[in-house]
Structure 1
Amino acid sequence: MNTATIRWITLGLLVLWLFFVLGSFFAVQKPFAAGNVVAVGSVLLNLLAAIWLVAISLGLGAWLLNRLAADTFGLGETVVLGTGLGLGLLGLLVFGLGLVGLFHPWAAYVITGGLSLAAAPQLWRLFQQGRTWKFTNPPHPLVVVYLAVIGLLALLVALLPPTDWDGLFYHLTAPKLYLEAGRIVSGIDVPHFSFPSLMEMLFAWAMLLRGDIAAKLLHFSFAPLLAGLVYLTARRFLSQKSAWPAVVILASMPMLGTLAGWAYNDLALAFYQLASLYAALCFLQLAVSGQRSAVSDQRLSIIALSAIFAGLAMGLKYTSFVTPVVVGLLILWDALRTTYHALRTTSHPLRSTFYALMPFLLFCLIALLVASPWYLRNWFFTGNPVYPFLYGLFGGAFWDNFRTEWYAAAGTGIGWRPSTLLGLPWLLTLGVRDANYWDGRTGPLLLLFLPLVIGWALFRRDDRPPALNALLFYMTAQFAFWTLGVIWSRALWQSRLLLPGLVALAPIAGWVWSELPRLDTPQFSFSRFVNIAVVLTLALTVIDTGLLTQKINPLPYLTGLESRDDYLTRRLGAYYAAMQQINTDLPLESTIVFLWEPRSYYCHLDCRPDSILDEFPHLVDQYQTADAIARNWHDVGVTHVLIHRNGLQFVLNEQPETIDTGVLSALEENYLQPVFDVAGAYQVFEFEFEGGSSLRAGD
């Protein structure tokens, strides 16, 4: 046997020894269990499902964007605007499928597969363009680190089972009920189900394909899209050097990361409103550059795009009407200027006026058409296109004057006190009066730059980008509308509702930040001083966000060390325990009325939530006595009642006059038999009614 053969045999034996030692060691001392592999695999599948839908949306949206305005947008704009456009169109498609009863897994996979094939050619073209694309404005390394850390922390929360209030109340509950029925159904007494539901349709599709975590990730996807759109807005309309400062200011708002981890619709709403304004600014930019012809195909196509985005925004919240109004006014102002110049030179004034007004008319028509499905749905389902609002004009199922007054809470706002109104930006930033503190934290940077923004707006009228006026007008309109809300009702004091305006303020503040060296003197560098303050703020924001994420403690669930039930019990406490006990202990045919608890997502039986905490006061207003309320419950098939004691105590503390404790006590004494109690917070009763009176009337 020669030396070479001996060497190969020796090497082979050593390799076998390596496999034997490592295999035997880790077979006994396992580094992870099967449950860990399953958990990590589930995380990856949730990510892949969301990425799949976003990629399809990018392909389809980019195709439509190129058809509308092929020569207007670069690759970055195509990716950001195209993805948002595609997600919106996907939501409208899902709505149509839900109406015809195609909410079934097989339909979801077949249709999504077909959409994948349709999107693939455009995705390939984008990939080819991306290979030769050069990024000319890289961020500072510290900016990359900050954005990566904040984004990762938000993603960790987005990968967890849903625990957010509105998600469990209606954003996920409505899709869940529709999927159980196999179609979109009416006749459910939750007014929020009649709100514009574009995001809920995206949630429903993701839940069909994968589950509720994939649905949450679709809302998370709007965070990078929104950051990209803020970057593009600052770069295209203000200055290239203001682009990354604008993104940093946006990302300094803690509410952005919080909302990204929840199944809400606020990030999508802010994106579509800013996208509508972005396209309108492109339209106005063409006019400034000399392409003034109102009937040019390019300008009309951009107006159509702006209108589509405005219509998609109106498919998310009723409050989004501010954007089409503002954008419409900007387009109308341009049309009036065009008309004025045309009338001085033309011999056909009527024709010239019509041509000048065509962009405005086209914008209004397309925006209304894109938004119309949600309002037509409400008209057919409830008789009120903006249900439950404007009840006096349209009426509406399940609604009456009592509920109208209860929901409006008119007169409970801050009123017209000048001192309070002047202090609104400060109060908003501190969050001390916010109805929902955690989802409305703006951070200090926007307030820090606000005096500078006002100063630049007032004193730099000539030496500033033309688009700044439109951005200021849009931001001011959003703030004015929000201010009217907080003047009217305390329920509307939610900083989250001002997010579209704050997002528009970010590029303005970023531009002001980039211009601060103008204020430097040889003795004092004000810009450097501000930079130090910003860096300190960002560092504290990272610490704060990290500690809050650690409090949530996502890693045990994500790595399989904690089950879904254990995680939800840890996070939701008595609420989730009560829902689980309802699901396991009560008969399948049970109908449970909730009192002072609006969340029913984790209830698998026929649970009827107290959506605006008015169920009991409304019953008292309608029927006055416990006996009459009991008869009504009997007539509608109620078998059990859940009372959320903490919710009741909250209402008693805030509005004690609205609760008739005598009627409640009579109901409990005569008609409700205790079934179980969860930590004193939730009590479930069996409803007893027979022969028109209480079973215990003679006790």
Structure 2
Amino acid sequence: ALVYHLAVPKAFLQAGGLVNLPDNIYSFFPQQIEMLYLFALALGSDSLAQLTGLGVVFLLLFALWQYSKQKVGKSYAWLTPLIFISTPTFFSVASSAYVDLQAAAYVFLAFYAWENGCTRKQSSWFFLMTLFAGAAVATQITTVIVLPLAFLGLSIHGRTHKNTSQTAGQCLLLVLGSLLMLSPWLARNYFFTGNPLFFIDFLYLPINLIFFSELQSLSFDGQIGILYLLLLPALLGLRRESYPAVIVFLVLLVFWFVQMQTIHLLAPAFVFLSMLMVSGLKQLFQQNSTGKREKFFLTTVLALGLLFNTSLIMKEWFRIEPLSYLLNKENREQFLTRQINAYPIYQDANKMLTENDRVILIDMKNLGYLMNQPFHNDARAETLTEIIDKGVYAADIANRLQIRGINHALFNFDYVFGKDSALTFGEKAIFKNFLIQHGEQLSTKNGFLLYRFMLDFNSENQNKNSGFNFEGH
């Protein structure tokens, strides 16, 4: 349940319509899939929203199987969706109300439609390509690179068939169709901020995560597994007909490197990599020069890679233990308490705070959906850093917090004061001093702290009831 993908629809439902959420930068992004989650939340619960997202993932897997069946035959077609979904991170987010795999589905369907339009010579396929390309961008703005790729695909087809007027019309349709899909979100941003492209500014903040990663980590965001690495030699068996998919994969991969380098955002690129690897494997198996030993080796590598990825998935499965919840052996609160270390402190915050309060969530990941009271999501402590850097005195910090209407703070002690903190040594000392003078600790659970800021009292009175306790963290 994320601050972006579920918290924003939740806020819209509570308000009975679109509302401005200036403290949540993600609310200014296009939200096509989030609107599906909104209907799911209105009709049921967050579980129904997760099932909705999972349904689109199944559509992607079916499309991969269908495409591979046409390209490499039934015997190999099942490998493509299996290789893709066996990636631990992709398996993990498939039912987690994210939008990454859903965006990947639209990107792949756009490519599938383009290829059908080229081979079947039916212009209606290019209309579907426009629909899916626009839906991809309206789902996840980081897939905007699919639009130049679509223009390139139309240009290649037009040059091959020497039909300039038709190509111009298709390109115009792509522009208008994409704008139509994005128009609700552009209009909303213009209404609330005066800038329809307000979200573009956020795209210049790369996260710069790396491959050697682990799930549920502060430093990293997922696992790729070993299968893709083991199957890289299979790409040597690709034929000329696979070049369009190779180009799309390489462009998506390069775009990933220069934008937000989080593992789950690799999904669109790895959709095409899965197809290419299966196609290459088939060619290697069918080549006369490939002997029995080589075929046995390739089969063994494939099997071991799948087993290794499956072991990572099962390790995460046993960590989560979802059957206890699914079989009604524990309730939702008990399940979430086991899974989310911060859940107890969120429960305390929801009980202690009122709708007149406002809490700043300092580097609390994307769990704003769990917060029922007004909050400001400070994902990487940028707001706190800005407030501290403008003036080091506690009274000045208190004044700036009061102007923003923030009177509580919720944070992980290690994230704010530990070695991986986004704050400098000096900023840590300044914030600690502020908490001593203007903070009252309301609750501490699992290393998470909830503080009330006493902004209207003089420091002499505040020191009687406030303080900063390092013990137990």
TM-score, normalisation: structure 2: 0.89
| 2:325 aligns with one of 549, 553, 557 | 557
Verify the 8 A CA contact 1:594 1:643 in the aligned structure 2: yes
Q: Which residue is 2:109 aligned to? A: 275
CA distance in 2, matches of 1:327, 1:502: 18
1:384 shift after superposition: 2.8
Q: Which residue is 1:368 aligned to? A: 179
Indicate the SS of the match to 2:330: coil
Verify the 8 A CA contact 1:170 1:193 in the aligned structure 2: yes
CA distance in 1, matches of 2:51, 2:426: 40
1:560 shift after superposition: 1.7
Letter in 2 for 1:665: K
1:175 shift after superposition: 1.1
Structure 1, unpaired ranges of 5+ = 1-166, 288-297, 343-352, 391-403, 415-426, 486-491
CA distance in 2, matches of 1:204, 1:518: 49
1:371 shift after superposition: 2.4
1:431 shift after superposition: 4.0
Verify the 8 A CA contact 2:59 2:105 in the aligned structure 1: yes
CA distance in 2, matches of 1:513, 1:534: 10
| 1:548 aligns with one of 301, 311, 316 | 316
1:654 shift after superposition: 5.3
Indicate the SS of the match to 1:184: coil
Q: Does 1:205 align with 2:28?
A: no
Verify the 8 A CA contact 2:388 2:397 in the aligned structure 1: yes
CA distance in 2, matches of 1:522, 1:623: 70
| 2:160 aligns with one of 334, 337, 341 | 337
Letter in 2 for 1:176: K
Q: Does 1:694 align with 2:468?
A: no
Q: Which has the larger radius of gyration?
A: 1
Verify the 8 A CA contact 1:219 1:263 in the aligned structure 2: yes
Verify the 8 A CA contact 1:195 1:318 in the aligned structure 2: yes
Indicate the SS of the match to 2:231: helix
1:637 shift after superposition: 3.5
1:569 shift after superposition: 1.2
Q: Which residue is 2:136 aligned to? A: 313
Verify the 8 A CA contact 1:243 1:507 in the aligned structure 2: no
Structure 2, unpaired ranges of 5+ = 465-473
Q: Does 1:602 align with 2:370?
A: yes
Matches within 5 A, 1:529-544: 529-544=297-312
Indicate the SS of the match to 1:686: strand
Matches within 5 A, 1:157-196: 167-196=1-30
Q: Indicate how the Cα distance of structure 1 residues 662 and 444 shifts in structure 2: closer, same or farther if over 3 A, else same.
A: closer
Q: Which residue is 1:684 aligned to? A: 450
Q: Which residue is 2:468 aligned to? A: none
CA distance in 1, matches of 2:182, 2:71: 28
1:272 shift after superposition: 0.2
1:567 shift after superposition: 1.2
Q: Deviations over 1:525-547 (max 9, x none)?
A: 32232112222332343343223
| 2:388 aligns with one of 620, 640, 647 | 620
Matches within 5 A, 1:12-91: none
Letter in 2 for 1:474: V
Matches within 5 A, 1:284-299: 284-287=118-121, 298-299=122-123
Q: Indicate how the Cα distance of structure 1 residues 612 and 436 shifts in structure 2: closer, same or farther if over 3 A, else same.
A: closer
Q: Indicate how the Cα distance of structure 1 residues 532 and 576 shifts in structure 2: closer, same or farther if over 3 A, else same.
A: same
Q: Indicate how the Cα distance of structure 1 residues 232 and 659 shifts in structure 2: closer, same or farther if over 3 A, else same.
A: farther
CA distance in 1, matches of 2:362, 2:149: 41
Q: Indicate how the Cα distance of structure 1 residues 564 and 380 shifts in structure 2: closer, same or farther if over 3 A, else same.
A: same
Q: Which residue is 2:168 aligned to? A: 357
Q: Deviations over 1:503-551 (max 9, x none)?
A: 0111221111122223455964322321122223323433432232122
Letter in 2 for 1:449: L
Q: Which residue is 2:190 aligned to? A: 379
Verify the 8 A CA contact 2:215 2:221 in the aligned structure 1: no
Q: Indicate how the Cα distance of structure 1 residues 451 and 215 shifts in structure 2: closer, same or farther if over 3 A, else same.
A: same
Q: Indicate how the Cα distance of structure 1 residues 648 and 436 shifts in structure 2: closer, same or farther if over 3 A, else same.
A: closer
Q: Does 1:571 align with 2:339?
A: yes
Letter in 2 for 1:585: M
| 1:252 aligns with one of 73, 86, 89 | 86
Verify the 8 A CA contact 1:314 1:321 in the aligned structure 2: yes
CA distance in 2, matches of 1:683, 1:437: 21
Q: Which residue is 1:667 aligned to? A: 434
CA distance in 2, matches of 1:437, 1:519: 44
TM-score, normalisation: structure 1: 0.61
Q: Deviations over 1:84-137 (max 9, x none)?
A: xxxxxxxxxxxxxxxxxxxxxxxxxxxxxxxxxxxxxxxxxxxxxxxxxxxxxx
Q: Deviations over 1:124-180 (max 9, x none)?
A: xxxxxxxxxxxxxxxxxxxxxxxxxxxxxxxxxxxxxxxxxxx33221111111111
Identity %: 24
Q: Deviations over 1:615-672 (max 9, x none)?
A: 210112344432122123334443333343122035x535553761343133212211
CA distance in 2, matches of 1:303, 1:522: 39
Verify the 8 A CA contact 2:104 2:268 in the aligned structure 1: yes
Q: Indicate how the Cα distance of structure 1 residues 481 and 553 shifts in structure 2: closer, same or farther if over 3 A, else same.
A: same
Letter in 1 for 2:245: L
Indicate the SS of the match to 1:696: helix
Q: Which residue is 1:472 aligned to? A: 246
Q: Which residue is 1:89 aligned to? A: none
Matches within 5 A, 1:640-659: 640-650=408-418, 652-653=419-420, 655-657=422-424
Indicate the SS of the match to 1:580: helix
